[in-house]
Amino acid sequence: MLFNLRILLNNAALRNGYSFVVRNFRCGQPLQNKVQLKGRDLLTLKNFTEEEIKYMLWLSADLKFRIKQKGEYLPLLQGKSLGMIFEKRSTRTRLSTETGFALLGGHPCFLTTQDIHLGVNESLTDTARVLSSMTDAVLARVYKQSDLDTLAKEASIPIINGLSDLYHPIQILADYLTLQEHYGSLKGLTLSWIGDGNNILHSIMMSAAKFGMHLQAATPKGYEPDPSVTKLAEQYAKENGTKLSLTNDPLEAARGGNVLITDTWISMGQEEEKKKRLQAFQGYQVTMKTAKVAASDWTFLHCLPRKPEEVDDEVFYSPRSLVFPEAENRKWTIMAVMVSLLTDYSPQLQKPKF
């Protein structure tokens, strides 16, 4: 049975002292034909349609409402186990996945390079087959996207990209849920990326146009996004009637943008390039000067961890900054990913209007 969202959310807000729960949350009609994602891999959002990504966001909102607002216990993953491979350290990805999987009744198992060294002490093929016999899914944070592709090819269970050199899809789901909650819908928003042409930008490029969002991205010369990703993003923009603008001018990218977005300039594994990168990114810090050319309703996102050279305190800690709701939503979105790939659960919350 579908809930009357507005009544339930208002009641929940009153009980919990919240006044913001439904202010910008618009609803559409229930989905007639349920999207089926069970058994799929999540390696990149380019492999998912508009409706499939919307479904994961809908499920995220459903779990957040039922568990956080209503206080329900939903052991949807009881009896299931998750292998968590981390070649890179993590705060949000590890905590959101480990606590979220456990909250749903499952058992997460954390594996570092001391426990499992992909393709070194054991071949990727053998690793994939062993993990497939002992766990129900694997989330892997790796250096190389090609390792994920091999794991997915050889495994008989879902493989989830927890971050690679090319993509970071689960971060973008959290970003979109955060913007959905704030703006009420995603269609028509202009995203302004200011920073490196990295895995975060690539994931935005593989999905924004599917929601009818425009993208204006500024990167320093020599740090542009991958050409193959750009080519596909241009195709998506054309198919969906959205605008894609790539420039080397941060203010040009920020002009008229609803959402100012940046990320670290020096990712793990790039420490030796620090001096060179800091010099190349001069002028790319997001400040109130940047915000002055943005839309009047501008907000700010950063996936964290943040360094002051990327965004100053005035923007980062301003009321326009959504970075901490964004961080929390990593948990609800990864929970939705796990539920959608491992179960037949259907959201009870009415489908949001995207």
- Other CB atoms closer than 10 Å to residue 116's CB: what's the count? 18
Shared domain check, 208 and 193:
yes
pTM (predicted TM-score): 0.89
pLDDT reported for residue 3? 39
4 lies in a domain? no
pLDDT band with cut points at 50, 70 and 90 for residue 114: confident
- Say how far apart CA 167 and CA 158 lie, in whole Å: 17
pLDDT reported for residue 30? 43
- Say how far apart CA 324 and CA 342 lie, in whole Å: 28
**Catalytic residue flag (residue 27):** no
Q: Is residue 274 scored above 90 in pLDDT?
A: no
Shared domain check, 194 and 104:
no
pLDDT band with cut points at 50, 70 and 90 for residue 112: confident
Shared domain check, 70 and 187:
no
21 lies in a domain? no
pLDDT reported for residue 194? 98
Q: Is residue 24 scored above 80 in pLDDT?
A: no
pLDDT reported for residue 21? 39
For residue 350, the 8-state DSSP code is: P
Question: Percentage of the chain with pLDDT > 90?
Answer: 83
**How many domains, in total, are found in the chain?**
2
Q: Is residue 137 scored above 50 in pLDDT?
A: yes
Q: For residues 95-103, give the mean pLDDT.
A: 98
Q: For residues 73-83, give the mean pLDDT.
A: 98
User: H/E/C letters for each residue in 117-180?
Assistant: CECCCECHHHHHHHHHHHCCEEEEECCCHHHHHHHHHHCCCCEEEEECCCCCHHHHHHHHHHHH
Choose the catalytic residue: 61, 155, 213, 303: 303
1 lies in a domain? no
309 lies in a domain? yes
Shared domain check, 211 and 146:
no
Q: Is residue 181 scored above 50 in pLDDT?
A: yes
Which two tokens mark 323? 């970075």
In this structure, are residues 242 and 220 in contact, taking their beta carbons and an 8 Å threshold? no
Per-residue pLDDT tens for 201-211?
A: 999 999 999 99
Which two tokens mark 189? 């928003």
201 lies in a domain? yes
Shared domain check, 187 and 318:
yes
pLDDT reported for residue 144? 95
- Say how far apart CA 242 and CA 149 lie, in whole Å: 30
For residue 249, the 8-state DSSP code is: -
Shared domain check, 246 and 146:
no
Q: For residues 278-302, give the mean pLDDT.
A: 97
Which two tokens mark 286? 């997001």
334 lies in a domain? yes
pLDDT reported for residue 8? 43
- Say how far apart CA 234 and CA 247 lie, in whole Å: 14
Q: Residue 234: which CATH number? A: 3.40.50.1370
Which range of residues forms the domain containing residue 115?
45-168+330-342
50 lies in a domain? yes
pLDDT reported for residue 269? 65
For residue 1, the 8-state DSSP code is: -
